[in-house]
Amino acid sequence: MLQNAFIKYLENLLSEKVISTAYISGGDISEAFYIETEKQKYFLKTNTLDKLKMFDLEAKGLQAIAKTNTIATPKIYQSSTFSNSSYLLMEWIESKPASNQDFQTLGKRLAQLHNTSTDSFGFEHNNFIGSLSQSNKKHLSWTDFYIKERLQKQLDLANASNLLSTNEIPTTSTMQEVLQPLFQNIKPSLLHGDLWSGNYLMSSKGVPYLIDPAVYYGHGEIDIAMTKLFGGFSNAFYEAYFNSIPPDTNTNLRIEIYQLYYLLVHLNLFGKSYYGSVTSILRKFF
């Protein structure tokens, strides 16, 4: 429940009278609230003071996606602190379950986002994947980026936490040898970066929105890999996406390799329940 002092602060910030608030369950990292004023509705995320950077980077990621004019994101009102809390205040999106037509639209818009390119892999700043730091140091080679900034960092973290033993972790040279032939002719695409089914909204008007991004420039199939890892996306979504950006003979293999990153993240966040999935992919490819 929001404290009265925080509500008064929001009223002063917005110059609007708050008429109702409601706690929204389901978030792993932050607390979330619905805020309704006399004029409009807002979505508020709160956390401890040390999480302000996380909110600032989330806002920057949403704005980076919005600037492409390909797929919608909620409007950002403010990322700041009040008392002993940090917060992110955004537009409230009235949402509904996605129909097959809605999924088609989402697939097309995601492909348009992925057609936003640049000259290197990575991003202007690091950010977060869940609550873990995500390095976005720029590389000209996708193979180098994916090994050094994605797999190696998560493998090292798992090893340091005794979640993986040293002999279960492939060497950099082995990863280079296996991945280089599969990572040919890949262009940098602007990614959502953490696209599971909880990180998109379908507005009541059928407009898809992306939320909670972990943006960087990488291979578009990264986002597809995450959608397939935990499900929740219809065939219409994939048909629309691949109609715009066709798969090739190595797409399914790469999707498994890209899922390895997310499984490692989950291993490092949630522990041994993801160990079997991680080691299965490691044994298959390396």
* ∠ CA 246-248-254, rounded to 5°: 110
CA quadruple 193, 197, 200, 206: dihedral positive or negative?
positive
Element (H, E) at 50: none
CA atoms within 13 A on the CB side of 67: 10
DSSP symbols for 93-107: --B-PPPHHHHHHHH
Angle between helices 275-285 and 251-270 (to 10 degrees): 140
Residues 151, 220 contacting (CB under 8 angstroms): no
The active-site residue out of 102, 194, 212, 223 is: 194
Residues 253, 225 contacting (CB under 8 angstroms): no
Q: Residue 246 CA to chain centroid, in angstroms?
A: 22
Dist. CA 82–CA 9, nearest whole Å: 8
Q: What DSSP designation does 203 have? A: B
Residue 56 known to be catalytic: no
Residues 269, 154 contacting (CB under 8 angstroms): no
Helices (H), the chain: 4-14, 52-66, 100-114, 142-145, 152-160, 172-179, 221-230, 235-244, 251-270, 275-285
List residues with catalytic annotation: 194
